[in-house]
Structure 1
Amino acid sequence: MEEINKTAKVQFSLRPFSADPKVQAVIFVAFLAMYLTSLGGNALIALTVQINHPLHTPMYVFLANLAALEILCTSCIAPLALANLLSMGRTPISIAGCGTQMFFFIFLGGADGVLLAAMAYERLIAIRYPLGYTLLMSRPLCVALMVGALVLGFLLSLPLTVLIFRLPFCNNSEIYHFFRDMPAAMRLACADTHVHQSAPYAISFIRLSILLSMVSVSYVFIVATVFRIRPAEGRRRACSTCSSRLSVVLPQYGCTSFTYLSPRSSYSPESGRVVSVVYTFITAILNPLIYSMRNKELKTALRRALRGL
């Protein structure tokens, strides 16, 4: 009990990117610009799909939900990261606050990854079985896939967060990161973490293996089907859709694999921070940019929405 009470009083701080206030200011502006861009772009996509009835199809509903998840996931990180940049790393956070941010980040990020796999399956049905698309991608199935993504994200985040914060943290510590990520926090525990490392590694490995297998199988079948499409225009549109999806999926899964599956001996805090910028900010910007620029129907709806503002 004394150890738990001692851990509960521990506070963390985030190490600044630089001791130079001018460099911190430049990074602050860059983070703020990325956050506002992702926030505005994803909000515009979600609202455009919501107010345009012709876009109420599984493809666009999944896209709107992905945009909403990107907003929530980025928003659980960006405000605190920006505040820390302004304070030069002097913004303390309690163990409870650290655990809360970690829980929601893993929860929303896990749901995001599952939803990307569901979107790959939806494209497989649309391209390989166009005549049975309405039946195979029914509204109840779409709702089940979206709810399932949230449930799986929750089931992933809860045990990982509990596992990490059952470790003892003996002293106020500085996290070498711009948010409270699991690998960075685990390095600060004042106990042997080999057993605690094995469980998150195994869970992450199983999750990513299943999702990557689902996405890979879906796109293998999609590519095989695309090459059998006779009209060149149909083949071009299918390839364009698949390439845009992959440009979102690959950075997301690749960066997550690097962060959570790298052995502790080879984990680099510097590399971890750079990779984390990619999968927290860059992919959130790629989502609205790619889907709006590569989709004619969505571009038309976005233009109408912007003209109505």
Structure 2
Amino acid sequence: MGNSTWLANRTGQIDFILLGLCSQSKHPMLLCAVIFVIFLMAVSGNSILILLIHSTAHLHTPMYFFISQLSLMDMMYISVTVPKMLMDQVMGMNKISAPECGMQMFLYLTLGGSEFFLLAAMAYDRYVAICHPLHYSILMNHKVLVLLVSCCWFLGSMDGFMLTPITMTFPFCRSWEIHHFFCEVPAVMKLSCSDTSLFETLMYICCVLMLLIPFTIISSSYYFILLTIHRMNSAEGRKKAFTTCSSHMTIVILFYGAPVYTYMLPSSYHTPGKDMVVSVFYTILTPLINPLIYSLRNKDVTGALSKMFNVESPRKL
């Protein structure tokens, strides 16, 4: 018990050890090379999309404003975890101090939470555009856009501010080895030698709210959108409405699945290996997939991209 107390008192002075993702592989250097390529593609893809939206006049619409914010969040999201992991593999160091661990935890919680609410704001934008097109410019003016995005960032930060300080103030006296490639809350909590059941319940409630509130907004928006599409007489109008919503719905399905597993399923369903695979999906792959979905499936974006690289834009139908 004395040794445990000594370790607990020195929580802020001892480094955690991230066991990492690459070290768990039979071919660590190959895996790290693949992740490095994905990281470069995700950062460059999101950067190009942001640049494209801000430099192209006809993309200065509410929908593309939200997409640029989504790209910014994705670019920051993947940058919170991957560079540290790759540097550890290259340098042969896998330590992270308690303050660095807390900062990483706060940032990914904030960015993840902000993205949940941003996806809800994007669903509301599609609802107004399809169900109330005549009032769209009034209901989605610049002030409203700034207010909605600010609320998304604020509500996301609440997740970070609530969970990070509590997690990092628990006494850690079992092992300093985090079975993960970044400081994710459940992985860090497993190192605590105190009873964390109350906090786990709090975390569960917090995550239910962080997921349920945006999901309710998204579901309600798409319910009314589907009703409106059903009433449309024009087949072309229906096709256009479905096209504008399909990209967003794809991202919602991809992004919501992994956090539900990580934060809402009981601990008996979790293993370190499964947790890392799921985390790879929503912290590394999703930031790569998002810009691809919004660029490859969008004629406005592909047209603007063609002009950027001085390639003749495809003829509009």
TM over 0.5, shorter chain: yes
Q: CA-to-partner distance for each residue in 1:221-242, whole Å, 9 max, x for gaps?
A: 1122112222212211211221
Query: SS of the counterpart of 1:77?
Result: helix
Q: Matches of residues 221-240 of structure 1 in structure 2 within 5 Å?
A: 221-240=224-243
Q: CA-to-partner distance for each residue in 1:236-284, whole Å, 9 max, x for gaps?
A: 1211221211111111111111111111222221111111111112111
Q: What is the alpha-carbon distance in structure 1 between the residues aligned to residue 107 and residue 151 of structure 2?
A: 16
Equivalent residue, structure 2, for 1:15: 19
Is residue 2:94 matched to residue 1:99?
no
Q: CA-to-partner distance for each residue in 1:177-209, whole Å, 9 max, x for gaps?
A: 111111111111111111121111110011111
1:37 to 41, 52, 75: 41
1:83 to 84, 87, 97: 87
Q: What is the alpha-carbon distance in structure 2 between the residues aligned to residue 56 and residue 249 of structure 1?
A: 23
Is residue 2:316 matched to residue 1:303?
no
Q: What is the alpha-carbon distance in structure 1 between the residues aligned to residue 245 and residue 57 of structure 2?
A: 24
Superposition TM-score, scaled by structure 2 size = 0.92
Is residue 2:44 matched to residue 1:59?
no
Contact 2:178/2:187 (8 A) holds in 1: yes
Q: Note the C-alpha offset of 1:4.
A: 6.2
The 1:239–1:202 alpha-carbon spacing in structure 2 relative to 1, beyond 3 Å, is: same
Is residue 2:250 matched to residue 1:247?
yes
Is residue 2:210 matched to residue 1:210?
no
Q: What is the alpha-carbon distance in structure 2 between the residues aligned to residue 150 and residue 21 of structure 1?
A: 36
Contact 1:10/1:171 (8 A) holds in 2: no
Equivalent residue, structure 2, for 1:74: 78
Is residue 2:173 matched to residue 1:186?
no
Equivalent residue, structure 1, for 2:280: 277
Contact 1:113/1:211 (8 A) holds in 2: yes
The Cα RMSD (Å) is 1.9
Query: SS of the counterpart of 2:177?
Result: strand
Q: Note the C-alpha offset of 1:172.
A: 5.1
Superposition TM-score, scaled by structure 1 size = 0.94
Query: SS of the counterpart of 1:46?
Result: helix
Q: Note the C-alpha offset of 1:86.
A: 3.1
Q: What is the alpha-carbon distance in structure 2 between the residues aligned to residue 85 and residue 227 of structure 1?
A: 54
Query: SS of the counterpart of 1:13?
Result: strand
Q: What is the alpha-carbon distance in structure 2 between the residues aligned to residue 108 and residue 18 of structure 1?
A: 24
* Aligned residue pair count: 307
Contact 1:241/1:294 (8 A) holds in 2: no
Q: Which amino acid aligns with 2:187?
A: A
Query: SS of the counterpart of 2:17?
Result: strand
Task: Tell me whether 18-27 or 208-217 shows the greater mean CA deviation.
Answer: 18-27
Contact 1:111/1:153 (8 A) holds in 2: yes
Is residue 2:147 matched to residue 1:144?
yes
Q: Note the C-alpha offset of 1:307.
A: 2.8
Query: SS of the counterpart of 2:94?
Result: coil
Task: Tell me whether 45-54 or 17-26 shows the greater mean CA deviation.
Answer: 17-26
The 1:17–1:48 alpha-carbon spacing in structure 2 relative to 1, beyond 3 Å, is: closer
Q: What is the alpha-carbon distance in structure 2 between the residues aligned to residue 183 and residue 102 of structure 1?
A: 11
Q: CA-to-partner distance for each residue in 1:85-125, whole Å, 9 max, x for gaps?
A: 3356x421111110010001101111111111100100011
Consecutive unaligned residues in structure 2, runs of 5 or more = 312-317
Q: What is the alpha-carbon distance in structure 1 between the residues aligned to residue 228 and residue 34 of structure 2?
A: 42
**Percentage identity across paired residues of the two chains:** 36
Q: Note the C-alpha offset of 1:20.
A: 7.7
Contact 2:181/2:276 (8 A) holds in 1: yes
Contact 1:168/1:190 (8 A) holds in 2: yes
Contact 1:38/1:284 (8 A) holds in 2: yes
Query: SS of the counterpart of 1:307?
Result: coil
Consecutive unaligned residues in structure 1, runs of 5 or more = none
Q: Note the C-alpha offset of 1:304.
A: 1.4
Query: SS of the counterpart of 2:181?
Result: coil
Query: SS of the counterpart of 1:191?
Result: coil
